[in-house]
Amino acid sequence: MGYFEGNELEENRRHPDLLIFDLSCIVAATDNFSPINKLGQGGFGSVFKGQLSNGQQVAVKRLSNSSRQGIDEFKNEVMLIAKLQHRNLVKLFGCCIQGEEKMLIYE
């Protein structure tokens, strides 16, 4: 399916629905972060639409490399968002952490 489940987020065991995606899967889903797939840009990075190999539509928030957020802060944010569920909020589907790349994947 293009993702692997969690060695990088120790807390993932507490949130089995949170997926850890491989960077190559996200690159393929967004057509290498094509400008055509860009939905917007904010202070923390850009958002792209994508489609996973299984047909699932996703939104990918690619955090800017200039963001001062470290890996521990990013992991904490992911786990906090994963715990929040409300009908008016977009559901966090998973994340991608590889090298300098940090991304949130939303349904």
> With pLDDT > 90 as the criterion, what percentage of the chain qualifies?
41
How many residues can be counted in the chain?
107
Tell whether residue 61 is among the known ligand binding residues.
yes
Domains present along the chain, CATH in parentheses: 3-106 (3.30.200.20)
55 φψ region: left (φ > 0), alpha (ψ -120 to 50), beta (else): left
pTM of the model: 0.77
Cross-strand bridge partners of residue 101: 98
> With pLDDT > 70 as the criterion, what percentage of the chain qualifies?
80
> Residue 17: its pLDDT value, please?
64
Query: Which residue in 76, 80, 41 sits closest to 62, CA to CA?
Result: 41
Q: Tell me: the pLDDT tens digits for 7-39? A: 434 444 445 567 889 999 999 999 999 999 999
